[in-house]
Each structure stands twice: as structure tokens, then as C-alpha cells.
Amino acid sequence: MKDNLTVVGKSNIHGQGLFAKVDIPEGVKIIEYTGERVTKEEAARRERLYLELSHTNPDIGSSYVFELPDENYDIDGFHSGDAKFINHSCNPNAEYIYEGENRIWVTSIKYISRGEEITMNYGIWIDDQDFDFRNYPCKCGSANCVGFMVRKEDWDKLEKIVNKSN
């Protein structure tokens, strides 16, 4: 089924973004995050590659791999679907929900107006050993922006780290 809720367009956050074609009420499944199912090891390799590419090509994002609750696999959306264009925000209007172990849906967590960019908190953990959160600066520009694509549960920890380094 063709997506009737979203359209890709130029983003003020980063490169391209995903925008609401119509008003979207809270609690609506907006779009499925699709892509190639890859092993966790391959996913980590690709994340490093995308991060490197993002330094030389500003139109390429630094993250396209979505972790699955499955112990062995993740989804790499780099070559698939429009959900990959959803940018990070510290004040998101959508979140992901798992449907089983292999499907991910982006769902509105508040009313989204027609033309508004659809955003999610990417949820990078500060203590993630594979990815240093410092490699993922946030450009959302929201009033509560913490400067990195860090999950909200780690914001207090982030503040202590930032204050300690200043």
C-alpha cells in the first residue's frame, strides 16, 4: 500500500526529512521502518561506515541501522523506504514501536500538523560501547536540545559529562 501520510522534503534539521502530508492525530502508525535484515556484527560495521561517509558527504546521515529486539539481527534502512529520512529531535513528535521481533513502526506521540517534519529521539545510549554518543551531535534546534542524539533517560548523565569537561 502506498503511504498517504508522508512525503520526503528538505529539512531544516539535516538534509532531507519526512513530513506529514496530512494532519496526523496522536497514536497513529505513520510508516514502517523497512530495510535489509543484517546481523548485529554487520549492522555495527555499517554504522561505522555511515558515520565515516557523513563526514565527507553532508547529505548522508550518520545512522540508518535500527536495532531489533531480536538477539541476532537489526534492520539497515539505507537503501529502503522513506522512514530512513526521519531526523532526530530532542522534542520528537513520533516514536518507534516493535511489532513482533522483526517489524518497526513509527507512531505519532502527539498531534502532527500537515507540513510538519516527523521526528524521533534516536535514543543513543551514553554507555553504548559500540557507538560514542559524541559522534552523533544533534541539530534539532528545539528549546530543550541537549546537543547529542542521546535518549532522554540519559540526559542527566549527559549534563554531568558536559559540565565535567567544561
Phi-psi region of 114 (alpha: psi -120 to 50; beta: other; left: phi over 0): beta
Question: What per-residue confidence (pLDDT) applies to 22?
Answer: 97
Contact at 8 Å (CB) between 24 and 9? no
What are the boundaries of each domain within the chain? 6-165
Per-residue pLDDT of the chain (166 residues; tens, 9 = 90+): 346 899 999 999 988 999 999 999 999 999 999 999 999 999 888 888 887 887 787 666 667 888 888 889 999 988 888 999 999 999 999 999 999 888 899 999 999 999 999 999 988 888 876 668 888 889 899 999 999 999 999 999 988 888 877 6
pTM: 0.85
d(CA 102, CA 74): 8
Give the C-alpha separation, 113 to 59, whole Å. Answer: 26
Burial class (CB in 10 A: 0-12, 13-18, 19+), 69: exposed
Task: Give the pLDDT of residue 1.
Answer: 37
Burial of 158 (0-12, 13-18, 19+ CB in 10 A): middle
Q: Which fold has domain 6-165?
A: Beta-clip-like (2.170.270)
